Each structure stands twice: as structure tokens, then as C-alpha cells.
Amino acid sequence: MASALRTALPRSLSRATTTARPITLAAASSLRRHYSIAPPPPATTLQAPDAADPRLSKINTSTLTITKTTTPKAILPHNELVFGRNFTDHMLLLEWTAADGWLDPRITPYQNLSLDPATCVLHYAFEAFEGMKAYKDRAGNVRLFRPDKNMARMNKSAARIALPRFDGEAFIELLKKFVKLDERFIPSERGYSLYIRPNIIGTQRTLGVGPPGSAMLYVIASPVGPYYPTGFKAISLEATTYAVRAWPGGVGASKLGANYAPCVVPQVQAATRGFHQNLWLFEDIDPATGKKEDFVTEVGTMNLFAAVVGRDGQKELMTAPLDGTILDGVTRDSVLALARERLAPQGWKISERRFAMRELVEAADEGRLLEVFGSGTAAVVSPVRAISYQGKLVECGLKADQEVGPITLQMKDWIEGIQYGEEEGHPWSVKV
């Protein structure tokens, strides 16, 4: 249990021993036997020891209470919707304690949170979140898109920073009730949706650093319009080497608020030079050549795809692998799955692999770079026109009068067709 984690370490393992001589492998084995210390877990399973306790992750959906607002908000005209500025009438909220697990869920009127100034989320960033959407199809049905993937990722993110896990299936049932209650805020036109923001925070009142003994999981929602209201506008990127978004063994693969704030200054700096977003690069040694390379990871807050023609003539759609330097995007996974199902039979090679900027530069110089696009919840896909790298502007396959390439557009149509229920019976589209 989380309370057990707050037990003091044996004095011989305290911070005071950090000036001692390095521990040998034999000594480490002796310590493990004496103190029952297990070997460290792999990075992919890092979590508080009680994170998977079934009793502490259980949610009782039957105890949900709903308090409806007495002051319903006006519905804004579609042309006045601004992403993340206007919110629905209600919010979904659950609280957790290390002693009792998840308490009874509540849907209440949208309201401010009341937090003690010493609440641990305010000091040590115990916070993880998700981004997902609800859509309305032509028949008026409300649909969610792959909510199980969002719940799995949120649990993984929360566990990485010692926040409690939760029953994803039960939480989806609560989400459905929340979305249904505020259904009137979901625009009925294609391209419009209800953006849903689940957020989990540590709420223990303490300045001590340790697993929080209490937490809050809440959901708010905002009606949003299409990312490109007047049609696609291809963006330009600045390849960024002076700042690093994520690194192997870090927390870049988790959807944590602490990952986003440090990216704002580089984005603002790129904007002053005329670029829309950063292309995050990670310098590393290529084991095949022994040379340093700038490996491509993500673009802004999106995953990145590149469509190239190999020197052997084969077309390839590639994206960076899940090696800890990128987020496991739901849209990314959807693009890969659809590409393997629908592009591979046309002769395309679909790859999750490391690739360097050098590879994109060479492909562009040789006329083999077909398209580059970002993928994410907000935009689905975002076409890229050019990338600034080492003083050179790398053109990404679009003609001067072209804003989107055929593969990017095809992916948008395929995914939106599923989101809005136009592909009847597709398992990714979940009716509310």
C-alpha cells in the first residue's frame, strides 16, 4: 500500500551513505538478501509497488451520483468555438486515498477546485492527462474513438509518477454517462467534436516528496471545431537540437503536464524565426555506422510520419519507434494499423524505426521524399511543407500550390470516417 512506501529506509541506505565507495555486484547481492531488495524493474514497468493493487484500482460505477447544473450555458455558434476556451455544464470527479482506493464517483456542475497551497501537484508535478474526443454521427449517435487506448495510456502515465491506477473499463462507462449528460454541446457537423480532458493529480497536503496518499481524477470537456476550418494549411518546422524533449529512460513516453511546459519557450523561439512548430531531434550514435546522427522523434505535440521512396524504388511510410523518446499516440497507432491494412497490400512498406534527419535530407535532395505529416487527436493529421535544418530548408514533397499530400489526406479521411461512424461497425468507434 502507498502508506507502506512512506516508511523510512534503513539508515545504511539513506542519503548519508552516498559518499561511500561504489557498491560492488557482490555487495549489492548481499544487500538484496539482507533487506529483501528486488532488482530494479525495466523502464517500461516503472510504477509504485501498489499501483496494480486490484482493491485500490477498483471503481464502483453503481454509486455514481449526478448533480445537474441550475445555470445551463448557452451553446456558442460554430464559428465562435476556440479550442479549449469554452466548457460544458458539468464535470466528472473521483477521489482516491491510499486507505480506501477510489471513492464514489460524482458528476457535478463545472466548478473550481479547492486545493491547499501545500498540495503536492502544485510543487512536484504529480499530474497526468489524456486528450480524446466525442463525435456525433449523421444519425445523431454520440461516439468515442478508441477510448480503451486512452485509458491504458493514462494508467501507464499515472503509474510512472506514483499516482494510482484505475479500472479503465469502469471509467469508460462513467465517461459515457458524462458525455451523454452534456450531449447538447457536441456539434453535429463533421469536423466538429467534443474534446474530452481526463486529468489525474496528486492531492496530498505535504511538501515531502513521495507517493501521494491521495489523488483526484476528473474530466472536463470543451466543444471544438475543425483544426483547419478553411482547409489544410501545411506547416513549416524548425529542427531543434538546442533543446531536447525526451530521452531514453526518461518520461517522454508518458503524457505528463511536466513534459509540455518546457517545450513552450523553444516553440516561441521557433515562431520568431517564422516556423510553426519544433521538430524534436535526439542526437545519438548510429550503431550501424558508429557516427553521430540527429534522430527524428516528434513534431511539437504530435507524432511524425514520413513517406519516402527507397533507392530500391519501394515506397515506405515510417515513424519513430516507441523507444521512450516519443509518446504512444492513439492517432499514431491508428495510422500504422490502417497503413498496414490498406497501404501494405498496395506495395507500401510500413516501418516503426529510427531514422535520422540525414535520411530525410538525402531523400529530399534526390526527389524521393513524398510527404511528411504529424498525427494527433486535435488535428488527426497535419501536413508539413518544409523543415529548417542546419541552415537549409528541406522541402517535404508538396508543390507550391499544394497544402496536403494524397497519403496524408487519405489517412484523414479513413480515420474521420471511423470517428463519425461512416464505416459501419468498425470496432474503434464506440457508441455512447
DSSP-assigned beta bridge partners for residue 293: 284
Is the same domain home to 186 and 242?
no
Is the same domain home to 284 and 369?
yes
Final residue of a structural domain among 191, 224, 257: 224
Within a domain: residue 28? Answer: no
Within a domain: residue 65? Answer: yes
Is the same domain home to 149 and 240?
no
Is the same domain home to 209 and 281?
no
Is the same domain home to 344 and 321?
yes
C-alpha cell at 321: 519507434
CB of 381 closer than 8 Å to CB of 374: yes
Using CA atoms of 399, 404, 408, 413 in order, give the dihedral in degrees to the nearest 10.
Answer: -140
Is the same domain home to 201 and 285?
no
| Domain span including residue 270 | 235-421
Is the same domain home to 260 and 317?
yes
Confidence of residue 14 (pLDDT cuts 50, 70, 90): very low
Is the same domain home to 220 and 247?
no
Is the same domain home to 90 and 147?
yes
Q: What's the number of domains the chain is made of? A: 2
Within a domain: residue 45? Answer: no
What does the buried/exposed string (b/e) look like for 159-187 if buried means 16 or more CB atoms within 10 Å of the residue's CB?
Answer: bbbbbbbbbbebbbebbbebbebbeebbb
Within a domain: residue 12? Answer: no
C-alpha cell at 357: 534527419
The CATH number that applies at residue 88 is 3.30.470.10
pLDDT the model gives residue 79: 84
Within a domain: residue 300? Answer: yes
Final residue of a structural domain among 200, 224, 248: 224
Tell me which residue of 225, 197, 226 sits closest to 131, measured CA to CA.
197
pTM across the whole model: 0.88
Final residue of a structural domain among 196, 224, 252: 224
**Is the pLDDT confidence value at 72 over 70?**
yes
Query: What is the average pLDDT across 234-251?
Result: 95
CB of 185 closer than 8 Å to CB of 221: yes
Within a domain: residue 150? Answer: yes
pLDDT digits (tens, 9 = 90+) for 184-236: 999 999 999 999 999 999 999 999 999 999 999 999 999 999 888 778 899 99
pLDDT the model gives residue 50: 66
What HEC string does the chain produce? CHHHHCCCCCHHHCHHHHHCCCCCHHHHHHHHHHHCCCCCCCHHHCCCCCCCCHHHHCCCHHHCEECCCCCCCCCCCHHHCCCCCCCCCEEEEEEEECCCEECCCEEEECCCCCCCCCEHHHHHCCEEECCEEEEECCCCCEEEECHHHHHHHHHHHHHHCCCCCCCHHHHHHHHHHHHHHCHHHCCCCCCCEEEEEEEEEECCECCCCCCCCEEEEEEEEEEECCCCCCCCCCEEEEEECCCCCCCCCCCCCCCEHHHCHHHHHHHHHHHHCCCCEEEEEEEEEECCCCEEEEEEEEECCEEEEEEEECCCCCEEEEECCCCCCCCCCHHHHHHHHHHHHHHHHHCCEEEECCCEHHHHHHHHHCCCEEEEEEEECCCEEEEEEEEEECCEEEECCCCCCCCCCHHHHHHHHHHHHHHCCCCCCCCCEEEC
The CATH number that applies at residue 278 is 3.20.10.10
Within a domain: residue 18? Answer: no
Query: What is the average pLDDT across 251-270?
Result: 96
pLDDT digits (tens, 9 = 90+) for 111-170: 999 999 999 999 999 999 999 999 999 999 999 999 999 999 999 999 999 999 999 999
Average pLDDT of the chain to the nearest whole number:
90
pLDDT digits (tens, 9 = 90+) for 413-429: 999 999 999 998 999 99
pLDDT the model gives residue 49: 64
How far lies 424's CA from each of 58, 114, 142, 150, 432, in Å?
33, 44, 14, 22, 15
Is the same domain home to 252 and 292?
yes
Is the same domain home to 197 and 64?
yes
Within a domain: residue 229? Answer: no
Is the same domain home to 240 and 217?
no
